[in-house]
Structure 1
């Protein structure tokens, strides 16, 4: 009986094994792919999703015992909406009630709010940060509390964690970026090719001592950004710096949905963060990759590297000043034309002001001329209020204005002088309460394009000087 079974097995193996040696080699060749910590956490991307928790704790100040404890759940409702609900009890109801009322009376005091920690039924411990509390049900007993969560993180360890000191960002859905390497997909039956396709693949960069890779999944459903750490590109900053240049270049809120901070010792911090689904490039961006004719991938990534260098050089954990300017512009483009016009005017002025060195702020008038004028005005005694007003105005011209500096940039061809004049005229108008046409017109659209070109030129100069 055993002999007959072995014969059958050999016959079956011959039937299902590819006939050609080269085909057999292709199918048996191992898949070359870097192990990602976030592979193990991708179930968090599905929504709506509920994470049932055996225990939730709401803490007040540091080193204090939890004020509220009980079972509950975390609901992931969308890419930007995460909520929790806990059926809590309080060991000291009077103190808990006082702290809850204090938190509600001081909604802008973060430290007055509660911190949420949760343990799910798999044993994963989640930190959910500060959150305002509210009752989600009528009650006579207990404390049915809930609130909004800005993000959640957990400690990962074990065989599924990357052993290299690095960061991983997962963007879902992916962002459209140019890549040097193409992803090729081929399907064939025997030697007959029945399907082939090409798509965005991978872009590798060596920046700040780090090996950075942007890789698209074959399914097209996600974009991975991975980077090794280095002396000038380390935790906890690297995970935030990597996406900031994309927000400037694309002019849209680009944030990863999942983040892993691999410590290199077999542990990692994993975050689920809010990430707006809309990630298409806009005209606000410094260089959107597929919406402007003539853009070359090499130019895009060269500018990305320059922006990353500027951001890393500043060394901050929060978003860089230039990134925040483009975040404001990205929001303003969804408002009225008046709001967008004012935001463009303000961003242009702020960028120009950030370029000014101490020598640039020196008045175009000599100290002797200013002192002489001040003496002359002080001698005027016919009207005290008028004298005070003129002295105040003199103080303004004792330093070089942003307007004068911008005109100097125009004269040296750093920016277009016509765009500076457009900015100056519109800035004075809208900042004094004058409205702009709420509809599109050739003149109005032309003014917006000129001010946007001015913002882009000033941004490039800021990057060049960095």
Structure 2
């Protein structure tokens, strides 16, 4: 809860006010600081901060500081320097409702001031944050809350009963899924849709090796994978005992992709969906990384590439599949004896003196022998039931065709469209193997996508 003017505003009102809608924050005072925010502000004055349903935030500041030497030097640095320490500025604002916001880094734009003593600043920032003091009535603590503005379709087993009234008479009763409680390794989590279904709230309690700021990234990563969408939370609230940190962040305006989600054909299979979600979340927890996992970063890029051309998507997909294969065999290392033999071969070729350019290229190619042939790895994955021979054939045909600089023409779009479907299925199978998941998963039978049992073994 926070004091806002002469009345009290619960912390739970922040999502209603700032998420899933356009908003405007009128500020009685805005300070723009340089790289060292302990120094006096370079610019200062009233202003306004605006945000839409998604995207970045814009600001406008009516600077009240007359143009002086420091301002003139800064304007000169913007034109001449690319050093972030010299040109990046940070925004601090006090709103009329009493909330104090800290903004992200920005390089503002300036209106022409040649004949005026003051400057009008405007620009964009990626984030806003504030610390909220809690009062006794707010019982949420030691947890992190993510608020998504998208209407994310998730299988929710918890239902709410709705009475439809005519005057005061109940004429119809219906139910809809609006929440899901899950237990992740002993840690309670709840997924809750807002009443108007414009927001999804995810609240996770903190636990051992499951703490902020990591968990807000891990939960987002798992949701990106299970939904095949480039989603990001619009708001994150880190609830502590006596206060909370509130972040509003820039989000993509279009989160859709052309990749079917791994369980898209079984939207009502609640158990399978949440089993897959927790498997991916567990992988994030084991890795204990703040930045995205490599498999998540690659999958995110694929979601973006899927909205482009077939050629570009297949290029990205085939490369990402090779990366996933390397991840599965990451513990496999060439023996010292093998490396020694390869090195002797490289040294032998190095004695060839006919052409320096050819010799250098040959040595580079031979160095690749230190890495096991991917064909052998694919055969192992087939024996382990991770992939099928059809997956291997589709990957070989696609990878080799594109690697030699060929362009997919209209006459082969249907053929490569089928390769695309096989490779999407192959990609999912490899990722599921990396995170250790067994169960229902998306597959391709040569004609259509299906959901099939996915069981693999470690036998070689």
- TM norm. shorter chain > 0.5: yes
The 1:145–1:387 alpha-carbon spacing in structure 2 relative to 1, beyond 3 Å, is closer
Aligned to 2:52: 77
Pick one of 202, 207, 211 that aligns with 2:188: 211
* Partners of 2:238 and 2:244 within 8 A in 1: yes
Whether 1:302 aligns to 2:261 is no
Cα distance in 1 for partners of 2:155, 2:107 equals 41
Cα distance in 2 for partners of 1:287, 1:168 equals 25
**3-state SS in 2 of match to 1:213:** strand
Deviation at 1:422, TM superposition (A): 2.1
Mapping 1:25-424, distance limit 5 Å: 37-45=11-19, 47-62=21-36, 63-90=38-65, 93-103=68-78, 105-106=80-81, 109=84, 112-136=87-111, 140-159=116-135, 161-187=138-164, 193-265=170-242, 267-276=243-252, 278=254, 282-288=258-264, 292-293=265-266, 296-361=269-334, 366=338, 370=342, 373-374=345-346, 377=349, 380=352, 385-424=357-396
Deviation at 1:439, TM superposition (A): 8.7
**3-state SS in 1 of match to 2:229:** coil
Q: Which runs of 5+ in 1 are unaligned?
A: 1-34
**3-state SS in 2 of match to 1:327:** helix
**3-state SS in 1 of match to 2:213:** coil
* Partners of 2:56 and 2:251 within 8 A in 1: no
Q: Per-residue displacement from partner, 1:77-125 (whole Å, max 9, x unpaired)?
A: 3421420011114477222332344345455837740011111111110
Mapping 1:446-461, distance limit 5 Å: 446-461=418-433
The 1:254–1:386 alpha-carbon spacing in structure 2 relative to 1, beyond 3 Å, is closer
* Partners of 2:342 and 2:367 within 8 A in 1: no
Cα distance in 1 for partners of 2:97, 2:140 equals 23
* Partners of 1:67 and 1:91 within 8 A in 2: no
Q: Per-residue displacement from partner, 1:417-461 (whole Å, max 9, x unpaired)?
A: 332232233223323432223698431210111111111111011
CA RMSD of aligned residues (A): 3.1
Aligned length: 427
Aligned to 2:417: 445
* Partners of 1:110 and 1:130 within 8 A in 2: no
**3-state SS in 2 of match to 1:359:** coil
**3-state SS in 1 of match to 2:436:** helix
The 1:456–1:360 alpha-carbon spacing in structure 2 relative to 1, beyond 3 Å, is farther
Cα distance in 2 for partners of 1:438, 1:99 equals 54
Cα distance in 2 for partners of 1:412, 1:444 equals 26
Larger Rg: 1
Aligned to 2:446: none
The 1:386–1:128 alpha-carbon spacing in structure 2 relative to 1, beyond 3 Å, is closer
Aligned to 1:429: 401
Cα distance in 2 for partners of 1:87, 1:105 equals 25
Cα distance in 2 for partners of 1:401, 1:143 equals 63
Deviation at 1:340, TM superposition (A): 0.9
Q: Per-residue displacement from partner, 1:290-341 (whole Å, max 9, x unpaired)?
A: xx15862111100100100111222122222222112101111111112111
* Partners of 1:208 and 1:232 within 8 A in 2: no
* Partners of 1:80 and 1:276 within 8 A in 2: yes
Tell me the TM-score normalized by structure 2: 0.83
Aligned to 1:23: none
Cα distance in 1 for partners of 2:55, 2:320 equals 27
Deviation at 1:165, TM superposition (A): 0.8
Cα distance in 1 for partners of 2:297, 2:13 equals 31
The 1:465–1:370 alpha-carbon spacing in structure 2 relative to 1, beyond 3 Å, is farther
